């Protein structure tokens, strides 16, 4: 069991609630954050109902408005659409100093979500680091994981690329990746988040062609990964 508190900002969607469920099951205290307390409460009640049906009714999850959630957490996870990326970061910025921010954002620009469209900063992760400054350790991860699989009760056949300027912060996120049942790999500085973010549009095209929920796997490992 872990005493660390994880706030999932924009945590009312399938990806956020999937992560909340899995981290809670792994022993972490989780907060679902939303722009309003009402929406956060609704997401929490829906999650509790689903988990009760599956015999997992003892979730360590609560609901708060975004800024309150970020303030109460040790680690903050951002899972909002790219259109709300900057505004959400600005709204929770006062609560982020000295913390790890895991940015899950992918710069998808509808309607052409199957086409790579990275922002001027190079990636959403790099944009977050530039906006927040070095007082916040931004780590990019989970872009290539299907929310559908996080919602399932079984294991995840998917690897996660973890990018960030702090090796120690990346190591903590690798631990969190492994806690939800996947393998995490150090992928270098935050500039390299562009690769994982761009891959999402590639995977969308694969999903469309094969009617699946594809992920990525790292092969050819001779020993310890990371």
Q: Is the per-residue pLDDT at 186 higher than 60? A: yes
In a domain, 157, yes or no: yes
Give me the number of domains the chain comprises.
Answer: 1
In a domain, 196, yes or no: yes
User: pLDDT tens digits, residue range 88-142?
Assistant: 999 999 999 999 999 999 999 999 999 999 999 999 999 999 999 999 999 999 9
Domain containing residue 14: 5-210
In a domain, 218, yes or no: no
In a domain, 226, yes or no: no
In a domain, 221, yes or no: no
Alpha carbon distances (Å) from 4 to 26, 95, 102, 153, 221: 11, 16, 14, 23, 31
Q: How far apart are CA 39 and CA 33, in angstroms?
A: 9
Is the distance from CB of 50 to CB of 23 less than 8 angstroms?
no
Q: How far apart are CA 75 and CA 101, in angstroms?
A: 6
In a domain, 224, yes or no: no
Q: How far apart are CA 73 and CA 30, in angstroms?
A: 8
Q: Is the per-residue pLDDT at 54 higher than 80? A: no
Provide the terminal-to-terminal Cα distance of the chain, rounded to the nearest Å: 23
Q: What is the pLDDT of residue 112?
A: 94
CATH number for position 164? 3.40.50.720
Query: In terms of Cα–Cα distance, which of 152, 154, 196, 153 is closest to 173?
Result: 196
In a domain, 206, yes or no: yes
User: pLDDT tens digits, residue range 10-50?
Assistant: 888 889 989 998 999 889 999 999 999 999 999 899 888 87
Is the distance from CB of 168 to CB of 98 less than 8 angstroms?
no
């Amino acid at each position: 069991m872990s005493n660390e508190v994880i706030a999932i900002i924009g945590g009312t969607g399938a990806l956020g609630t999937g992560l909340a469920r899995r981290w809670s099951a792994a022993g972490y205290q989780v907060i679902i954050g939303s722009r309003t307390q009402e929406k956060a409460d609704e997401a929490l009640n829906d999650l509790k109902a689903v988990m009760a049906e599956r015999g997992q009714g003892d979730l360590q999850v609560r609901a708060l408005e975004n800024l309150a959630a970020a303030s109460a957490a040790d680690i903050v996870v951002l899972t909002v659409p790219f259109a709300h990326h900057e505004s959400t970061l600005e709204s929770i910025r006062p609560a982020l100093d000295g913390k790890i921010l895991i940015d899950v954002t992918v710069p998808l620009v509808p309607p052409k979500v199957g086409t790579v469209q990275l922002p001027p900063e190079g990636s959403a992760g790099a944009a977050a680091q530039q906006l927040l400054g070095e007082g916040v350790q931004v780590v990019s991860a989970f872009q290539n994981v299907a929310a559908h699989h996080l919602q399932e009760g079984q294991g995840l056949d998917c690897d996660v690329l973890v990018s960030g300027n702090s090796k120690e912060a990346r190591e903590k996120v690798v631990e969190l990746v492994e806690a939800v049942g996947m393998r995490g790999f150090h992928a270098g500085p935050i500039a390299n988040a562009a690769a994982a973010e761009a891959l999402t549009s590639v995977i969308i095209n694969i999903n469309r062609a094969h009617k699946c929920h594809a992920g990525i796997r790292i092969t050819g490992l001779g020993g310890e990964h990371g």
